[in-house]
Structure formats: C-alpha cells, structure tokens
Amino acid sequence: MGTMTEAAQQYLRLRRSLGYALEEPGRLVLAFAGHLDGLGITHVTADAAAAWATASHDAAPYWHWLRMSAVRGFAVYLHSLDPRHQVPPSDMLPRQYTRPAPYLFSDDEIAALIRAAGRMRHGPAVTATYQTLIGLLAVTGMRPGEACRLDREHFSPRDRTLTIVRSKYGKSRQLLLDPTTVTALEEYGRHRDRLHPHPAEPSLLVSMQGTRMDIIPTERCFVRLARAAGIRPLSERTRPRMKDLRH
C-alpha cells in the first residue's frame, strides 16, 4: 500500500466520497500517519496509537480520546485490508468530556465587542469584517464556521436571506434577515469590494489579504477582542467564546 501517509490519504478519500467531512479527524489521521512514517512503522499497533494520542501530556483527556477516536477509524480500515494492523480497543482511552456552559453575552457586551473590533490595528478591511462578523453571529445564531464559509451568492438582499450550506451533518438551511441586517451586509459588501475589487475567492467575509477567513485564527482574534472589551470568564468552564454569540 506504500507509506502510511498514502494509506491515510486513500482512507480519507474513501470516507469523504461517502459524505463524511472529516475536517479535524482528517488532520489527525494524517498527522498520525506521518508520525508512523517518521518512525519507520508500517503497521498500526495499539501501543503506537496510544503513545501518539497521549503525547500531549498537559492536554485534557477529551483531546486524547478525540485523537484516539480518529486513529481507530483509520485502523479499522487498515485491518480490513491487512489483519496485521491492530485496532485499538474502544475503551482504551475513555471519553471524558463535560460540555462547557455557554457564555451569555449581554447587549452591552456585544456593543463593546464591536467597538473593540473598531480599534483593531490591521486596517479598515479587518475592522469592518470583524464588526460585521460579530453582529451577524449575534443576530442570526449561526455558527462561526458557517459564517466563514459563506459566499457572496449565499446572501440575497432581495429575499432578505442567507443560505447556509454544508453545515453540521452536511445539512443546509436558509435564514431570514431583519432589514437592518440586510443594510449592514450591503454596506459591508460595498466597503469590501472597494478594498478588494479582484478577490481570490467568492467569500462573503474576507481577511486582510482578501481571502476567506480561517476559523482558527478568527477564534483566537475573538479571544483578544473579548479581553480588550473587558469581558472576563465567569468560571474556568464558562469563557466568552465566539460560538457563544449564537446563544
């Protein structure tokens, strides 16, 4: 079959052809396969999987379980092709996870976040994008990843709708917008098009370079904005997160 990385790529192509997105699990599978290739290991073993899954000793047990869960799916696939590949037992790293309580933002806190975004030092394009993103998440209840995946064609000012495509479990839906939200998005679009008249991508919201926003740095930036807005965690498990704007 070649290297473990090649096997991982074949596995992911097969799963995705069946409709599975496998975004984070896909990254983990490729990282695990690359790790095995670096060690010269040609067959998955339970010990190698456990060692890799728990390599981050200061990480939460849930992260260890998530890494092992991705590896198990890959191992099951490999075992069906070659029984020498071991499938780690399902209870080898038990799932230990308690969903954090969402942080419920007040109207004043949302306004403070938008003002903090207006003070960003990355130029008018980034300022306008983050102000629009925060307002959009607060009034529509969409997920941050859904907002980052929006294309311009998904916004219909005439129908006052946003179309969310390929969301959780591959589902799509339409959101009816308030007229004030339509106006805000139209104003943002005109501003965006002046700054980036020839975009590399059709994304509705754009980064400083005019490309689609990446969810990970966007979430990190939101943490800094919350701090700048004076919004503090209520507890260790209740922290202001961008996804909590939908609550």
pLDDT tens-digit profile, the chain (247 residues): 579 999 999 999 999 999 888 888 999 999 999 999 999 999 999 999 999 999 877 777 888 999 999 999 999 999 999 999 999 998 888 776 567 789 999 999 999 999 999 999 888 889 999 999 999 999 999 999 999 999 999 999 999 999 998 777 678 899 999 999 999 999 999 999 999 888 888 999 999 888 999 988 999 999 999 999 999 999 878 899 999 999 8
Residue 98 one-letter amino acid: T
For residue 1, the model assigns a pLDDT of 55
> By the 8 A CB rule, do 26 and 12 touch?
yes
Q: Is residue 213 part of a domain?
A: yes
pTM of the model: 0.66
Strand partners, 164: 173
Q: How far apart are CA 167 and CA 173, in angstroms?
A: 8
First to last CA, the chain: 47
Q: How far apart are CA 113 and CA 225, in angstroms?
A: 6
Residues 111 and 233 in one domain: yes
Within a domain: residue 204? yes
Of 36, 66, 81, the position where a domain reaches its end is 81
Q: What percent of the chain has pLDDT over 90?
A: 72
Dist. CA 170–CA 24, nearest whole Å: 15
pLDDT score at 59: 74
Task: Answer yes or no: is 129 within a domain.
Answer: yes
What pLDDT sits at residue 96? 64
Pairing of strands 155-156, 161-164: antiparallel
Are 69 and 112 in the same domain? no
Backbone angles phi, psi at 163, to 5 degrees: -105, 120
Q: Which of 81, 116, 146 is a domain's end point?
A: 81
Q: Is the CB of residue 244 less than 8 Å from the CB of residue 137? A: no
Q: Same domain for 67 and 188?
A: no
Q: pLDDT at position 119, please?
A: 93
Q: How much is the pLDDT for 208? A: 86
Residue 89 forms part of a structural domain: no
Q: Are residues 124 and 239 in the same domain?
A: yes
* Complete DSSP assignment for 100-146: PPPP---HHHHHHHHHHHHT-SS-HHHHHHHHHHHHHHHHH---HHH
- pLDDT of amino acid 97: 57
Spatial neighbors of 151 by CB under 8 A, at least 6 apart, are: 202, 203, 204
> pLDDT digits over 47-91, tens only?
999 999 998 777 778 889 999 999 999 999 999 999 999 999 988
d(CA 129, CA 179): 19
Region of 236 (left: φ > 0; alpha: ψ -120 to 50; beta: rest) is alpha
What is the pLDDT, as a whole number, of residue 92?
86
Domain span at residue 65 reads 4-81
Domain count across the chain: 2
In a domain, 98, yes or no: no
Q: Which two tokens stand for residue 187?
A: 């104003």
| Confidence at residue 205, expressed as pLDDT on a 0 to 100 scale | 96
Q: Is 4 exposed, middle or buried (0-12, 13-18, 19+ CB in 10 A)?
A: buried
